[in-house]
Structure 1
């Protein structure tokens, strides 16, 4: 008869075995799955996010769903209201117009100042980011919109730093809403996305030429392109 072997006593200072890894993995996968459903529009803005229904849809328990909703709320993709549960975050047409109008006033100014201050090394760094955005963002089998969003953030943050204007940088940090930027890339049609990618490349060309007026003009077009896409989507959602 086989008898169960006794557990060896844990030595002092030895960490206890962890049972959190599977839960952590499950939560991470659930976060990724829900984020993708939201960004693809399968969970529409304003849609109610019921834990039981989502757990069944994703084949997980309610615990990782609850944790995922909390994380996505910190990212701005989900809104959680006491006693009312969670919903996909929404922005009205008016809110989006206000956000993009503010960015259109600030981002072109940052690009113009960057054109005056950027060194050859700075320009090379921006060029690399713009080229990588074209590589990962161009529609096709290799497209990675999450990677594009991160490269885009780095590109615009670098322009803000090169502008060397603390007041402008502070204003930009409050005007740029990461969830809107991320959703923007998933909302673009093919032509709007190609236009956006080309804008980054042209902004680098303007900065390389030291032409502040050119850089400002292209960034203005870049912001107007993004505004048109997001406002049109919001108008369609509002009916």
Structure 2
């Protein structure tokens, strides 16, 4: 874990821990120590305790009385729900983009960043660029707030993605993104919808495999 040198509030500690959980730096089942984290961030235990409570309210930690605070397991149900919502929403978004033919250079730039992150084996950078690719698509459709709403729904999905992208072929994800972008550039709504649905359904293959290989990381 990396110390927060500028943290001064429970919110900052929470935000740092939240990112660590999503990125897989803190894995399901790990115990969080108030004392150790307080020492790392240079704060008293009270704001750290408050951060733990907020993390638990996010569904990312479990506070066990008399035993401590532990990183929660990944909810399979939440992952599947977020994926389903994303497919429905993003299928509409790509049709809007295909019909309006806006500037898509931001999406193109993210594909280049993903290729570099893949080559470097930098999974966090890859997943962050993946998110920006989809966010740029919502922006191009004229609905940037939609992606912000989706972000709030997909914490468990993001945890799964950070784990799966360490294992599965990231170049396949890039190829799927390229198929989406190519269809959008051509103004082909049917092809764009097919491509985005194919891309988002990849998780239906990855999730069962991750549950099989890491059963202790997941819960129904």
Q: After TM superposition, is the score higher than 0.5?
A: yes
Query: Unpaired runs of 5+ in structure 1?
Result: 1-20
Provide TM-score, normalisation by structure 1: 0.65
Aligned residue pairs total 208
After superposition, residues 76-95 of structure 1 pair within 5 angstroms as 76=58, 78-79=60-61, 81=63, 83=65, 85-95=68-78
Do the aligned residues in 2 keep the contact of 1:96 with 1:227 (CA within 8 Å)? no
Cα distance between partner residues in 2 of 1:185 and 1:35: 11
* Structure 1 moving runs of 4+ over 6 Å: 31-34
TM normalised by structure 2 equals 0.69
For residues 101-152 of structure 1, give each alpha carbon's deviation from its aligned partner in whole angstroms, at most 9, with x where no partner exists.
2222222221222122232xx222211111211211x1x5x23222223322
* Alignment counterpart, residue 196 of structure 1, candidates 173, 179, 182: 173
Structure with bigger gyration radius: 1
- Are the counterparts in 1 of residues 74 and 159 from structure 2 also a CA contact under 8 Å? no
Does structure 2 conserve the Cα–Cα contact (< 8 Å) formed by 1:188 and 1:229?
Answer: no
- Contact between 2:31 and 2:71, CA under 8 Å: does it hold in 1? yes
**Map of 2:106 onto structure 1:** 125
Match of 2:131 among 145, 153, 164: 153
Instruction: After superposition, give the CA deviation of every residue in 1:146-179 in whole Å (9 maximum; x if it has no partner).
Output: 222332222211211222368x927953674245
Deviation at 1:93, TM superposition (A): 2.1
Listed as ranges, the gaps of 5+ residues in structure 2 are none
Alignment match, 2:90: 107
Q: Which residue of 2 aligns with 1:187?
A: 164
CA distance in 2 between partners of 1:74 and 1:183 (Å): 18
Q: Does the CA-based 8 Å contact 1:185-1:193 persist in structure 2?
A: no
In structure 2, distance between residues paired with 1:154 and 1:97: 21
| Alpha-carbon spacing, 1:51–1:163, altered in 2? closer, same or farther (3 Å) | same
| Distance in 2 of aligned mates of 1:134 and 1:233 | 24
Check conservation: 1:77, 1:88, Cα contact below 8 A: no
Name the counterpart of 2:183: 206
Aligned-residue CA RMSD in angstroms?
4.3
Aligned equivalents of 2:107, 2:210: Cα separation in 1: 30
1:224 Cα deviation from its structure 2 partner: 1.0
Given that 1:76 and 1:89 are in contact with CA atoms closer than 8 Å, whether structure 2 keeps it comes out as no
Query: 1:178 and 1:92, CA in 2 relative to 1: closer, same or farther beyond 3 A?
Result: closer
Aligned partner of 1:164 in structure 2 is 142
